């Protein structure tokens, strides 16, 4: 191959490399691609990529490769580079011009050395020591500064031992090699700077999301953990589905952009809760608003008990002149019976207020009987019904602690979430975030909210988030109105949800078969919640 053909081929490689660099999202892979590409187009045996430290006082080793010695460190290898940074100045504050890479960065100048052992003006003692240990012969060096669009040096690309493509003999780096390396360094610097800027914007964006979740957390400690656990569980399920090779989900695959889009949707799935009143979110008992009003009700019982005792004592006092012991005893007996009935009613309302079990119709009628049947004199001395309308409404809630109106307020958070997210100018790779985040309260049978979507109208990702949201809520140990369920109980409820059209059956099967529920439990649940789950029984249903 003549020189002109080889140069043309390498120019084509340079163009292809430039296109590849612009597409790479992972910084480690990007750095690795830069060094490998530089080695390829210059036929170099080895190379090192340095990045400027944050304080701009030194160069940090990022990637190191030497093909003939099978050395690969940094980048995606998982092998850490433990070499110290190269300082740009010495102890006296003078430029560290004895180190080639530092010299190139300080002076923004390419250094092309034919033979390190004969080159004057640079300190190659470290290179000689490395050669002595490994039997290597470091000879030609090409050191190129990497400069971003603002003219700042962001790194240095150093190549070692150019080789003749045919004979593999070490040769000096040619002027063509230098030009190609400088062109690549320029493209690489722009790609790296763009990647870093994008990463910074993504970090800032996620920080704003976390700020929203922090605001929700500050409003209620019972929801902040939920905002973090649901996206974690969603991603666990998504990864399990991505790894599935059989069944209806065998063809489902996600790339890095898909993963990031789903992650963001998970983090934002309850952002609308910033609009939900705290007293509704934190309503641990039926009578709770800013405080639990059961104490007001109990005070009324004390008033009725006091009144009953006073009434009895007055009757007894009236009998003193007639001296009727039997009548006196009956009065006190009746008083004690009245006190007993009041205590029973008070205990009943205490239990009803907790909302731990669904109320029977007889219990709901008893609340109404107590509320309207008993009378007391209020602070104004006016006789009034024992419970006002709002108290009877709340204490008569059949299940849970929320009235229908309060449930509508809670449910509105998903409407607010969708409305908020649809207002944002999402970039193309995040356009599905509102749909993913806004669908986690929909049901497969179309009976969910807010849009009443059916299974076919929803993406797999939205259905995943629905499973994650329900399972987290069942097992959460930080809710004010219930303890976290044991794993077997939660999975039993999830199985019923699968059968009645609430959650996606195919996704739930993956959730079970791939042990997603178990991995989540080990990471987020208390040890006392983790019990045995009959997987075979779950899959039979």
pLDDT for res 400: 79
pLDDT for res 326: 85
What's the CATH code, domain 3-198? 3.30.450.40
pLDDT for res 24: 62
Alpha-carbon distances of 185 from 17, 25, 54, 61, 87, rounded to whole Å: 11, 18, 20, 16, 21
pLDDT in tens, 404-451: 888 887 778 888 889 999 999 999 989 999 999 999 999 999 999 899
pLDDT for res 13: 61
Tokens describing residue 527:
């040890």
Highest mean pLDDT among 9-13, 231-235, 449-453: 231-235
pLDDT for res 456: 94
Summarize the confidence of residues 47-74 as an average pLDDT: 93
Average pLDDT, the chain: 87
pLDDT in tens, 183-204: 888 877 787 888 888 888 888 9
For the cut 70, the answer to whether the pLDDT of residue 22 exceeds it is no
Query: DSSP letter string over 456-525?
Result: GGS-HHHHHHHHHHHHHHHH-S--SSSPPPPHHHHHHHHHHHHHTTSS-HHHHHHHHHTTHHHHHHHHHS
Cα angle 454, 456, 457 (rounded to 5 degrees) comes to: 65
Highest mean pLDDT among 144-158, 465-479, 495-509: 495-509
Q: Which CATH code of 3.40.50.620, 3.40.50.11540, 1.10.3210.10, 1.20.1300.10 fits the domain covering 220-276+419-540?
A: 1.10.3210.10
pLDDT for res 151: 85
Instruction: Decide: 375 and 388 in contact? Cβ < 8 Å.
Output: no
For the cut 70, the answer to whether the pLDDT of residue 473 exceeds it is yes
Confidence of residue 14 (pLDDT cuts 50, 70, 90): low
pLDDT for res 198: 83
pLDDT in tens, 327-381: 888 989 999 999 999 999 999 999 888 876 788 999 999 999 999 989 988 888 8
Summarize the confidence of residues 146-165 as an average pLDDT: 90
For the cut 80, the answer to whether the pLDDT of residue 5 exceeds it is no
Residue in this structure with the two tokens 């010495």, named with its chain if needed = 90
Instruction: Decide: 78 and 139 in contact? Cβ < 8 Å.
Output: no
Distance CA(532)–CA(488), nearest Å, equals 6
Distance CA(210)–CA(214), nearest Å, equals 6
Task: Give the residue among 492, 446, 445 at the shortest CA–CA distance from 470.
Answer: 492
Summarize the confidence of residues 159-184 as an average pLDDT: 91
Number of H helices, E strands in the chain: 19, 10
pLDDT in tens, 265-296: 999 988 888 887 777 777 778 787 877 888 88
Distance CA(228)–CA(468), nearest Å, equals 11
Confidence of residue 248 (pLDDT cuts 50, 70, 90): very high
- Indicate the pTM of the whole model: 0.67
Distance CA(8)–CA(14), nearest Å, equals 10
Task: For 202, list phi and psi in degrees, rounded to 5.
Answer: -65, -40
Instruction: Decide: 99 and 92 in contact? Cβ < 8 Å.
Output: no
The terminus-to-terminus CA distance of the chain in angstroms comes to 69
For the cut 60, the answer to whether the pLDDT of residue 382 exceeds it is yes
Instruction: Decide: 89 and 96 in contact? Cβ < 8 Å.
Output: yes
């Amino acid at each position: 191959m003549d020189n002109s053909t080889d140069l043309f081929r390498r120019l084509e490689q340079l163009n292809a490399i430039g296109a590849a660099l612009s597409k790479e999202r992972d910084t480690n892979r990007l750095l690795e691609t830069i060094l490998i590409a530089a080695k390829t187009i210059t036929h170099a045996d080895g190379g090192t990529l340095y990045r400027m430290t944050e304080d701009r006082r030194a160069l940090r080793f990022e990637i190191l490769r030497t093909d003939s010695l099978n050395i690969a460190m940094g980048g995606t290898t998982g092998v850490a580079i433990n070499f110290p940074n190269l300082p740009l100045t010495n102890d006296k504050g003078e430029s560290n011009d004895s180190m080639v890479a530092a010299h190139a960065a300080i002076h923004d100048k390419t250094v092309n050395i034919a033979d390190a052992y004969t080159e004057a003006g640079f300190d190659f003692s470290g290179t000689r020591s490395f050669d002595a240990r490994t039997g290597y012969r470091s000879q030609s060096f090409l050191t190129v500064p990497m400069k971003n669009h603002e003219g700042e040096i962001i790194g240095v690309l150093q190549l070692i031992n150019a080789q003749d493509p045919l004979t593999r003999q070490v040769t000096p780096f040619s002027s063509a090699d230098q030009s190609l390396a400088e062109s690549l360094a320029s493209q690489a610097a722009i790609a790296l700077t763009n990647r870093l800027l994008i990463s910074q914007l993504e970090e800032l964006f996620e920080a704003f999301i976390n700020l929203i979740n922090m605001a929700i957390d500050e409003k209620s400690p019972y929801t902040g953990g939920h905002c973090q656990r649901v996206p974690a569980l969603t991603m666990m399920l998504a990864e399990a589905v991505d790894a599935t090779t059989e069944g209806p989900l065998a063809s489902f695959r996600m790339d890095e952009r898909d993963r990031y889009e789903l992650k963001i949707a998970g983090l934002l799935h309850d952002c609308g809760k910033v609009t939900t009143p705290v007293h509704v979110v934190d309503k641990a008992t039926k009578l709770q608003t800013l405080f639990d009003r059961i104490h007001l009700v109990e005070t009324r019982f004390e008033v009725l008990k006091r009144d009953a005792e006073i009434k009895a004592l007055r009757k007894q006092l009236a009998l003193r002149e007639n001296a009727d012991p039997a009548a006196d005893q009956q009065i006190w007996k009746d008083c004690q019976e009245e006190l007993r009935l009041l205590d029973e009613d008070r205990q009943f309302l205490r239990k009803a207020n907790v909302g731990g079990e669904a109320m029977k119709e007889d219990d709901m009628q008893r609340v109404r009987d107590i509320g309207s049947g008993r009378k007391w004199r209020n602070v104004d001395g006016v006789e009034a019904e024992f419970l006002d309308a709002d108290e009877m409404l709340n204490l008569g809630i059949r299940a849970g602690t929320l009235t229908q109106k309060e449930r509508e307020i809670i449910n509105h958070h998903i409407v607010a979430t969708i409305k908020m997210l649809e207002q944002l100018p999402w970039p193309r790779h995040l356009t599905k975030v509102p749909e993913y985040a806004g669908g986690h309260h929909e049901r497969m049978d179309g009976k969910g909210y807010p849009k009443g979507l059916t299974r076919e109208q929803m993406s797999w990702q939205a259905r995943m988030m629905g499973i994650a949201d329900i399972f987290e809520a069942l097992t959460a140990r930080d809710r004010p109105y219930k303890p976290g369920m044991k794993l077997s109980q939660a999975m039993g409820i999830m199985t019923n949800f699968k059968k009645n059209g609430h959650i996606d059956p195919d996704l739930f099967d993956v959730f079970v078969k791939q042990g997603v529920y178990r991995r989540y439990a080990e990471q987020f649940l208390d040890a006392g919640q983790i019990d045995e789950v009959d997987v075979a029984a779950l899959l039979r249903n």
